[in-house]
Amino acid sequence: MTTLKVGDKAPNFESVDEKGNTVKLSDYKGKKLVLFFYPKASTPGCTAEACDLRDNYQTFLAKGYDVLGVSADSGKRQQNFIDKNELPYPLLADENKEVINAFGVWGPKKFMGREYDGIHRTTFVIDENGVIEDVILKVKTKEHANQILK
């Protein structure tokens, strides 16, 4: 799916979060960033993944990481997802798929024999200088924090 790999410079992005605030990659300069892409807010797998990251959020902060989620959901849907699950980190409402396409996580998927285009659940760990230090393609939604912090 994505052609980005460890050692590549992360694509520079600018989008809006659930509150309509502009968020850019440069906002995270000097910090490590866990940038996770998920198909749809409030679905079972996405909720499990988001809550696992929430439950380990203090560990991420202690190790110098910020966390940022991205899907093509509206800001309102992202805010509901945050409120319902008490998520402590922002979620980008990338409705025009600019960030999703920049990271190459949009493409053909199969589910129950049906093919369609959608977001491939993928996480990028980006270092303090904007360089990708890990790409996780096979996300385990209930143990995702362990995959990142390993």
One-letter-per-residue 3-state SS of 74-141 = CHHHHHHHHHHHCCCCCEEECCCCHHHHHCCCEEEEEECCEEEEEECCEEEEECCCCEEEEEECCCCH
51 catalytic residue (yes or no): no
Q: How far apart are CA 66 and CA 117, in angstroms?
A: 29
- What sign for the dihedral angle of Cα 22, 144, 130, 105? negative
Which of these is catalytic: 46, 87, 100, 139? 46
Buried b (16+ CB within 10 A) or exposed e, 58-92: eebeeeebbbbbbbbbebebbbebbeeeebebbbb
Task: Point out the residues that are catalytic.
Answer: 46
